[in-house]
């Protein structure tokens, strides 16, 4: 298996990273080749759930209330593992890809070490920042939480020069898809 390119998305909470990534996957799948969509946070949440004796990590992977109850503790859990091995969760998120995978799409990069891992392990890597106005993020349920929204897990990539930036502040879906299609075409050519 040889992944042709990796797309890394990042942005603040409630900016719409997952929404943009799903649209991006649809475009890649239909026009360029099979894409595996992965999240760095999924293996973290799975390991955390086991450690805490939670029945399932599934609710931690949603925007549900349980995730918010454990968010600060999960961040610390992840940070402690990253101190020992900064690529730990990136490696898990990019392993066991289907043989037909042409593109890998990681939806939730948070730190320069995440970006570095993929740049060090794949030939073509593109970064996509997802931004949204605070008012829009608030309408999606964002509430500033000290110790989380001002911590490394939310701020480490502030000011990072992405290959592309998507403003997800309320553009209609058709315009957004057209813009994403344009970005992907430009990046891959």
For each of the chain's 189 residues, which pLDDT tens digit applies?
Answer: 589 999 999 999 999 999 999 999 999 999 999 999 999 988 888 888 888 777 767 767 777 676 777 777 888 888 888 889 999 999 999 999 999 999 999 999 999 999 999 999 999 999 999 999 999 999 999 999 998 899 888 999 999 999 999 999 988 999 999 999 999 999 998
**Domain range holding 94?**
5-188
Residue 1: its pLDDT value, please? Answer: 54
Q: Do the Cβ atoms of 108 and 10 come closer than 8 Å?
A: yes
Question: How is residue 55 annotated by DSSP?
Answer: S
Question: Widest CA span of the chain, in angstroms?
Answer: 47
Paired sense of beta strands 35-38 and 125-131, if any: unpaired
**Structural domains of the chain, count:** 1
Q: CATH no. for residue 15?
A: 3.40.50.300
Gap between the Cα atoms of 12 and 142, Å rounded: 10
Which letter does DSSP use for residue 96 in this model?
A: S
Contacts of 129 (CB under 8 A, 6+ apart): 9, 10, 11, 157, 160, 162, 164, 165, 166
Strand ranges, E, within 33-148:
35-38, 103-106, 125-131
Residues 82/86/90/92 CA torsion (nearest 10 deg): -70
């Amino acid at each position: 298996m040889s992944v042709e390119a990796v797309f890394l998305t990042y942005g603040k909470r409630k900016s719409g990273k997952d929404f943009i990534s799903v649209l991006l996957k649809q475009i890649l799948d239909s026009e360029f080749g099979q894409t595996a969509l992965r999240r760095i946070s999924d293996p973290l949440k799975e390991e955390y759930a086991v450690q805490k004796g939670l029945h399932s990590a599934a609710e931690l992977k949603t925007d549900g209330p349980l995730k918010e109850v454990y968010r600060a503790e999960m961040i610390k859990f992840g940070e402690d593992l990253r101190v020992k091995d900064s690529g730990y969760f990136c490696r898990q998120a990019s392993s066991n890809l289907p043989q037909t995978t042409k593109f890998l799409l990681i939806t939730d990069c948070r730190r320069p070490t995440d970006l570095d891992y993929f740049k060090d392990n794949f030939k073509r890597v593109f970064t996509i920042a997802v931004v949204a106005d605070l008012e829009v993020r608030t309408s999606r349920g964002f509430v500033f939480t000290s110790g989380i929204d001002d911590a490394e897990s939310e701020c480490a990539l502030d000011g990072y020069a992405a290959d592309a930036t998507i403003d997800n502040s309320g553009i209609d879906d058709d315009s957004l898809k057209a813009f994403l299609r344009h970005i992907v075409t430009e990046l891959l050519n």
